[in-house]
Amino acid sequence: MIEQMMRNFFLFLGENKKMTKLAKKYGLSLGASRFVAGATLEDSLDALRKLNKKGFSITLDHLGEFVDNEKEANEMTDHCIEAIEFIDKHNLDSQLSLKITSMGLDISRELCMKNMRRIMDKAKQHGVFVTIDMEDHSRCGVTLEVFKELKQEYDNIGTVIQAYLYRTIDDLNELDEYQPRLRIVKGAYKEPEEVAFPNKKDVDQNFKNLIQIHLLRGRFTSIATHDDEIIRFTKELVKRHNIPKDQFEFQMLYGIRPERQEEIIKEGYNMRIYVPYGDDWYGYNMRRLAERPANVAFVLKGIMKK
């Protein structure tokens, strides 16, 4: 009960636009540097190189919340293009992750698609894979529509499905004709019981079902979790069905359970680290705290050092 209250509290804070603007003024000092590699790509480079050197692949995400005008959407698109060029320039083992609301979806579908094609053209040129992140349930349908349209034009694109939504099993079945490369996640937004499983037990069972279905269809699957039970389930599943290790990868967030990340690498599995950067860190940070309230201690430590 207390953990759920804390989760709801941090999700509420993460959706507060005033707090988001205020947080930008204070940089990454208030604990966010644990989860965010740097304010700029150059600031992040040392961390990215260290991850690659240890055997981790990466997916880069330029943070941004509440894009509500065309100028900001175009700027976010420019950041994504810059990241693609940066990955190529520094020969990083990295993909790119992005949110289509940052590309202008809430302004107009036309603007979003224009910006997405700019990004995808550059990604194709430089051989960089792009994953469209999933946001809250109200944008799930349109996100998948955008993915389907782009998948018919580009091979180097994937998207995300969320285990806590009731609709996801149907989405998975509908997507299969596109032979999608999918990241499967629990889901990090506060959703009503009308659309999402309220109990962790049900979310975990759906998570396992989605992993099994997608892997047994022969599709590449990114299992994005810090949950040891989901990791154990996946290991047993691939062993039982002789699924090759190049058909899947585990994904974890930068700064969360780094010791476990290294253990998985040493066991011979592929591991990709989701690495955010940028100064618009507040909403992302609040969702990380909501997912794992134990992370609050690291934020408090950062504040006390100031």
H and E: helices and strands count for the chain: 12, 8
User: Residue 293 is which amino acid?
Assistant: P
CA-nearest of 35, 7, 13 to 203 is: 7
Under 8 Å between Cβ of 214 and 234: no
Quick check: 73 and 111 in contact, CB under 8 A? yes
133 an active-site residue?
yes
Q: Compute CA 152 distance to the chain's CA centroid, rounded to the nearest angstrom.
A: 22
Q: What Å distances lie between residue 149 and 89, 168, 170, CA to CA?
A: 29, 19, 18
As beta bridge partners, residue 250 has: 223, 271
CA pair distance 251, 230, nearest whole angstrom: 12
For residues 133 and 61, is the Cβ–Cβ distance under 8 A? yes
The reply to whether 106 belongs to the active site is no
At 253, list the tokens.
């967030």
Asked if 74 and 36 count as a contact pair (C-beta separation under 8 A), the reply is no
DSSP string, 216-241: HTT--EEEE---HHHHHHHHHHHHHT
| Residue 303 in tokens | 């504040």
Looking at 7, 171, 181, 183, which residue is catalytic?
183
CB-facing half-sphere around the CA of 133: CA atoms within 13 A: 24
Question: CA-to-CA distance for 129 and 222, rounded, in angstroms?
Answer: 13
How large is the C-alpha radius of gyration of the chain? 18
Please tell me which residue in 106, 133, 136, 204 is annotated as part of the active site. 133
Instruction: Give how far Cα 96 sits from Cα of 37, 86, 200, 204, Å.
Output: 14, 11, 29, 27
Enzyme catalytic residues: 133, 183
